[in-house]
Amino acid sequence: MAELLQFIFSGLTVGAVYALVALGFTLIYNASDIVNFAQGEFVMLGGMTTVFLGLAGVPLPIAALIAVIATVAVGVALHRLAIEPARGAGPVVLIMITIGASIFLRGVAQIVFDKSFHSLPPLFGTDPIRVGGAAILPQSLIVLAGAVVIVVLLWVFIDRTLFGKAVIATATNRLAARLVGIDTRRIGDFSFAVSAAIGAVAGILVTPIAPTSYEVGTLLALKGFAAAMLGGMGNAVGAVVGGVLLGLLEAFAAGYLSSQYKDAVAFLIILAVLFAMPQGLFGRAKVDRV
Amino acid sequence: MRAFQRFIVTVVGVGLLALANAGQQASAQIKIGAVLSVTGPASFLGDPEKKTLEMYVEDINATGGVNGQKLQLIVYDDGGKANEALTFAKRLVEEDKIVAMVGGSTTGSTLAMIPVFEEAQIPFISLAGAIQIIQPVRKWVFKTPHTDTMACEKIFVDLKRRNLTTIAIIAGADAFGKSMRDQCVAVAPKAGITIAHEETYGASDTDMTPQLTNIKGKAGVQAVVNTGFGQGPAIVTRNYRQLDIKLPFYQSHGVASKQFISLAGPAAEGVRLPAAALLVADKLPADDKQKLIVEYYKKTYEQRSGGQPVSTFGGHAYDGLMILVEAAKRAGSWDKAKVRDEIEKTKDFVGTGGIVNMSPTDHLGLDLTAFRMLEIKNGDWTLVP
């Protein structure tokens, strides 16, 4: 019983990270139909900038704030300088642009920061909370809470504000949205900015658990993407459920089957789910109107 | 008139330059080749290696070179790719016409380059880890870094001293972690160690508590060994304390850096690991044979690399270059075959990696004394007596 509980704790810890990354994918996808593979680099930038500002003597809360702002600036720059000029191109080209951007950001980070791993002190210490023979770090709970707060904020924003409706309208039909007076470029800027902010916050919250380096973004983006697909691309609740589910799958596979095949097992299950429900767990089937 | 004057000046200038060039060539520099992974995923190896070689070649030339001839170092960067290393090896042999080779940062690039230097009959001192480089023994191939096998043996010796014989291994799924795990499994029976349980984790996983929970629940396990590299072992160490496992915990030489202590934090207390003397230069007793050399290298490197902390990898490059230079001095010439024979006869060479005693059957020449068993106490290394 203690084992099961420990596996669940492990799954929640890892899953919360995936969920935060998956959330970042959601908004840009909603606003522009692009899967932004530089999302992992937003996470990296958030963590690394905070670490290096901290090393330079800036108090951590201020360092974290600057890191979020810097990452948002990078996100908007990415949209203005790389995505917007190529607007006419198909989604595949745009996705390739984001992959290029992610390689570029990694290269720059390698030079501006360094190639080593770095960590941040956890918010509430390193003493684990013990429950029924299992242990979880306070920081894991913070990451989970962070995911929940971001989901609620996103949901309120998309479903309850006019600006949010404009985001959805832009995603559904760009031309029509512009015809009714929506500034679609500003919507694009905005979605990249918010996604970058979500990524940066994820990076800052996660770094005390898993050390960060210039190249952590690649794998996080991959796992986050898998989580977003599992939950249904473009659905905020789906992203969180997908992330936590992926984390739990990995933990159970490592604990009960074999740690050697845990990634394979997790991805096999994702494949199986997508076979049965191609839109993901929470995704809505797209209807083409004639 | 002006134009003519300028023309004369130019011609004379060019002529002088050509003369100066010819003069340099007349003293016939000795060309030493190096193919290192200066950029790419193995840059943590190649970067300090390149800096070290450049530093010491400069020093050697400043004091008159070797056998009256100055050295010229030719470095190529393979970016961690074995096929590029092979191309550069061929270029070093055919175009640059080197007389000896130091380097090959990774096992992959070294193994790719071996046939080239064996065929061209050029002494080749590799800086890569795997035992396959020198086993079976190849006539022209040597290496300076310790092997994974030695790290396992060192850990097992320490376990036996503490009367612990049944262990669990948790291995990283990276090349380093896998290779060392294989070597540990291979030498365990001979050392009288039983491996009761094995777990693995992905190189970039962020939580290893499920694997450690299984180890914790396994009856009879007396100690845990983690073979791995990079951030993984730091997370394993944190999770180990999180689950409150009381068994003695061993890490590998792959994490023997201050970075590991700072990443793992207080969880690193009490962790033991084998490491080269270079890491504990200031803590070695005054009568230690290696003390002088490791302190000297550490000081030189940290001063001239612009404050970069010393690493064992640069130390391997120092050892390789010095073994070569001393062999050439003993040979009295830079004849390739004579230099090779003298490298093989290297005896009591005190390097940063240990005391080297080579022989026709041992092209590494290190024994277990090359590793020191360390324990982390109060956020710093201490020597286990």
> Which domain CATH number covers A232?
1.10.3470
Averaged pLDDT for residues B67-78? 92
Query: Quick one: CA dihedral B227, B228, B229, B233, positive or negative?
Result: negative
Residue recorded with tokens 């977003």: A228
Any long-range contacts for A190-193 (C-beta under 8 Å, 24+ apart)?
Answer: A190/A31, A190/A163, A191/A27, A191/A28, A191/A30, A191/A31, A191/A32, A191/A167, A192/A28, A192/A36, A192/A75, A192/A76, A192/A78, A192/A79, A192/A83, A193/A72, A193/A75, A193/A76
Q: Is residue A118 part of a domain?
A: yes
Which of B207, B216, B255 should be substituted to probe chain A, the one whose Cβ sees the most A Cβ atoms within 10 Å?
A: B207
Helices then strands, counting H and E runs in chain B, come out as: 12, 14
State whether B206 and A117 contact (CB < 8 Å): no
Size of interface A-B (CB pairs under 8 A): 81
Please write the tens of the pLDDT for every residue from A43-82: 999 999 999 999 999 999 999 999 999 999 999 999 999 8
Q: Is the pLDDT of residue B196 over 50?
A: yes
| End-to-end Cα distance, chain A | 55
> Side-chain half-sphere of B280: how many Cα atoms within 13 Å?
25
Q: What CA–CA distance (Å, rounded) separates A86 from B288?
A: 66
Nearest residue in A to B172, CA atom: A260
Q: Is the pLDDT of residue B16 over 60?
A: no
- Least confident range of B100-114, B211-225, B256-270, B342-356: B256-270
State whether A137 and B263 contact (CB < 8 Å): no
Ramachandran assignment for B225, one of left (phi > 0), alpha (psi -120 to 50 degrees), beta (any other): beta
| Gap from B206 CA to chain A (nearest CA, Å) | 5
Q: Which domain range does residue A89 map to?
A: 2-276
Question: Which pLDDT band, with edges at 50, 70 and 90, does B7 fall under?
Answer: low
Q: Is residue A124 part of a domain?
A: yes
Averaged pLDDT for residues A235-259? 88
Please write the tens of the pLDDT for every residue from B221-268: 999 999 988 788 999 999 999 888 999 999 998 888 778 888 888 889
DSSP 8-state class, residue B99: S
State whether B242 and A137 contact (CB < 8 Å): yes
Q: What CA–CA distance (Å, rounded) separates A160 from A149?
A: 16
In whole angstroms, how far apart are CA B169 and each of B201, B216, B297, B358? 11, 12, 34, 32
- Domains contained in chain A, number: 1
Q: Is residue A201 part of a domain?
A: yes
- Least confident range of A126-130, B108-112, B117-121: A126-130
Q: Is residue A12 part of a domain?
A: yes
Q: Return the SS3 of B121.
A: coil
Burial class (CB in 10 A: 0-12, 13-18, 19+), B195: middle
Q: Is residue A116 part of a domain?
A: yes
> Side-chain half-sphere of B253: how many Cα atoms within 13 Å?
29
State whether B211 and A254 contact (CB < 8 Å): yes
Averaged pLDDT for residues A165-191? 86
Q: Which helix or strand (DSSP H or E) is residue B223 part of?
A: strand B223-227
A129-131 vs A134-136, strand pairing mode: antiparallel
Q: What CA–CA distance (Å, rounded) separates B125 from B93?
A: 15
Q: What CA–CA distance (Å, rounded) separates A247 from A3?
A: 16
Of B43, B231, B267, the CB nearest to A115: B43
The per-residue pLDDT of chain B, averaged, comes to 87
Q: What percent of chain B has pLDDT over 90?
A: 53
Task: Answer whether A116 touches B (CB < 8 Å).
Answer: yes
Task: Answer whether A173 touches B (CB < 8 Å).
Answer: no
Averaged pLDDT for residues A229-250? 88
Rg (chain A; Cα; Å): 19
Please write the tens of the pLDDT for every residue from B324-353: 999 999 999 999 999 999 999 999 999 998
pLDDT the model gives residue B4 = 59
Q: Is residue A167 part of a domain?
A: yes
Chain A CB contacts of B305 under 8 Å are none
pLDDT the model gives residue A172 = 79
Of A14, A115, A259, the CB nearest to B206: A14
Say if CB B146 and CB B200 are below 8 A apart.
no
Q: Is residue A168 part of a domain?
A: yes
Question: Which pLDDT band, with edges at 50, 70 and 90, does B311 fall under?
Answer: confident
Q: Is the pLDDT of residue B22 over 50?
A: no
Q: Is residue A171 part of a domain?
A: yes
pLDDT the model gives residue B24 = 45
Of A137, A216, A255, the CB nearest to B210: A255
State whether A117 and B43 contact (CB < 8 Å): no
Q: What percent of chain A has pLDDT over 90?
A: 27
State whether B202 and A260 contact (CB < 8 Å): no
| End-to-end Cα distance, chain B | 83
Residues 6+ apart with CB under 8 A from B377: B269, B270
